[in-house]
Amino acid sequence: MLEIKGLKVKLEDEDKQILKGVDLKVEAGKVHAIMGPNGSGKSTLSYVLSGRDGYEVTEGSATLEGEDLLDLEAEERAALGLFLAFQYPVEIPGVGNMTFLRTAVNAQRKARGEDEMSAADFLKVIRAKAKTLKIDADMLKRPVNVGFSGGEKKRNEILQMAMLEPKMCILDETDSGLDVDAMKLVSEGVNALRSEGRGFLVITHYQRLLDHIKPDVVHIMANGRIVKTGGPELALEVEQNGYADILAEAV
């Protein structure tokens, strides 16, 4: 599904190398988690994959089902089936949540040469999906993320994911700012989307999210590289001992 090879990335404006050779392969149907201390490059990886400006790829490649991602615009990557759930969802005053989502769904369909979804069909689908995420009609009408609580914003990210039905989902610290109940709700939303054909890359600081979204593979990232890969037990090890031991071992 997603294949990253020897990816090296620096900031566009300054000579600062952030990713120093990342290799990673997420298969369809699998959930991979990336854990790592602050500043290890986890969020940068998610931004580079989704096409945010400000980064320069100096070496390596990233492909989604064999298609080169790095040459594509952000919207083209999305249409291919890549989805990033933002750590900090952006507030967009003046654009209604519903308008935003319908524009996005239909833009992706159009890019893939599919028919656009009618307003009535869209409404039917979004209502059902919103309900399971406990997103009420008012939240759908309000401007995108404006005045939403931390939990509402993250739920809104998962709703977008559910509507867009991507092949590859990257969740960037989706647990940050969530209380226990909200984390459970969001995790259930994610779990409902797990399927044979879909890959997940879950970026998180803490093991607790992985209690709810059970990963198949856990990677530890430090200083711009993946330093260790293992099963779910690796996350528990981090939880108990911190990163210090693993990092020492990696050096």
Q: How far is the CB of 238 from another protein (least distance, A)?
A: 29
**Is residue 44 part of the contact set for another protein (CB under 8 A)?**
no
Task: Give the integer Cα–Cα distance in Å for 167 and 30.
Answer: 11
Residue 70 sits in the site that holds another protein (CB under 8 A): no
CB neighbour list of residue 50: distance below 8 Å, 6 or more residues apart: 74, 77, 78, 82, 84, 170
Residue whose CB is less far from another protein, 104 or 247: 104
Q: How many CB atoms lie within 10 A of CB 231?
A: 11
Q: Give the Cα separation of 202 and 15 in Å (integer).
A: 28
Nearer to another protein, 108 or 187 (CB): 108
The whole-angstrom separation of Cα 33 and Cα 204 is 7
Among the listed ranges 45-53, 127-135, 174-182, 186-194, the one in contact with another protein (CB under 8 A) is 45-53
CA dihedral over 110, 100, 71, 197, signed as positive or negative: negative
For another protein, what does the binding mask look like between residues 123 and 152, x meaning CB under 8 A? Answer: --------------------xx--------
Task: State how far the Cα of 26 lies from the Cα of 219, in Å rounded to an integer.
Answer: 11
In whole angstroms, the minimum distance from the beta carbon of 92 to another protein comes to 5
Q: Which one among 8, 100, 123, 250 touches another protein, defined by CB under 8 A?
A: 100
Q: Using CA atoms, how far apart are residues 203 and 174, in angstroms rounded to an integer?
A: 8
- Cα separation, 88 vs 247, whole angstroms: 28
Q: Does 160 bind another protein (CB under 8 A)?
A: yes
Per CB under 8 A, 164 contacts another protein: yes
Of 56, 59, 65, 111, which one interacts with another protein (CB under 8 A)?
111
Closest contact distance (angstroms) between CB of 169 and another protein is: 12
Of 166, 164, 90, 180, the C-alpha closest to 126 is: 164
Q: Which is nearer to another protein, 49 or 190 (CB)?
A: 49
Q: Report whether 219 contacts 34 (CB < 8 A).
A: yes
Judged by CB under 8 A, the chain residues 77 through 96 that form the site for another protein are: 77-79, 84, 86, 89-95
Total of chain residues touching another protein, rule CB under 8 A: 32
Comparison of 14 and 233: residue with beta carbon closer to another protein: 14
50 binds another protein (CB under 8 A): yes
**Radius of gyration of the chain measured on its C-alpha atoms:** 18
Please give the residue ranges that form the binding site for another protein (CB under 8 A): 50-53, 73-75, 77-79, 84, 86, 89-95, 99-101, 103-105, 107-108, 111, 143-144, 160, 164
